[in-house]
Structure 1
Amino acid sequence: MSAGVGRTGTYICIESLIRQLNKEHVVNIRGFLEHIRQQRMKLVQTEQQYAFIHDALREYLICPINEIPIDRLPMFIKYMLGIDPCGCPRTLKQFEEL
């Protein structure tokens, strides 16, 4: 098996399942993987990769997605490295939400 197939497959599954979740409000991770493996065997190669798909989708549902336009990224990083009004680092607050 070529190097990277499992990692690439993991990414493909996560991206595709997030799109399905946004469109249909339901996902079937096992069913999707079985379907996509008909087109390309061994797309997700390890149990750890399979578990990572579950973890990534759970995190997507629990935590809001922060999409930052590239032109605003430097300003956002500067903001996140600052302290909130309560005296807590913003990065710590966001990390604790994970």
Structure 2
Amino acid sequence: MGIQVELRVAGEQIQRLPDPAGGFFDAAGDFDRLVFHESSTLGLLGRLDLHGETRFGASQMQKLIADVELLLTLAKVGVEYRGLMRLRSMAEHCAEQHGELVFIGD
């Protein structure tokens, strides 16, 4: 299954976010290969618990977005790239709404 990311505001999962590619989405994923491969060069994403939950708050979103920007340069076109674009969108919404991103590992 891999890592799945949810945006939570006031403890509730946000079920509908605008997808950068069009439409809507409620979670991000499909970028596991990059996180595993690049973990030593990443800031926040390098600290993920791959088998449990990791939470990052609104104040950490700029660092997370920097990690995502790095991974976007390495991502394969398709689901991997789309998953990172969704993660970046979630991070931006998280910062605006003072929420938290919850990374759920296998």
Q: Larger RCO: Structure 1 or Structure 2 (Cα < 8 Å, ≥ 6 residues apart)?
A: 2
Quick check: TM above 0.5?
no
Structure richer in helix, relative to its length:
1
Q: Calculate the TM-score normalised by the size of structure 2.
A: 0.30
Return the structure number with greater strand share: 2
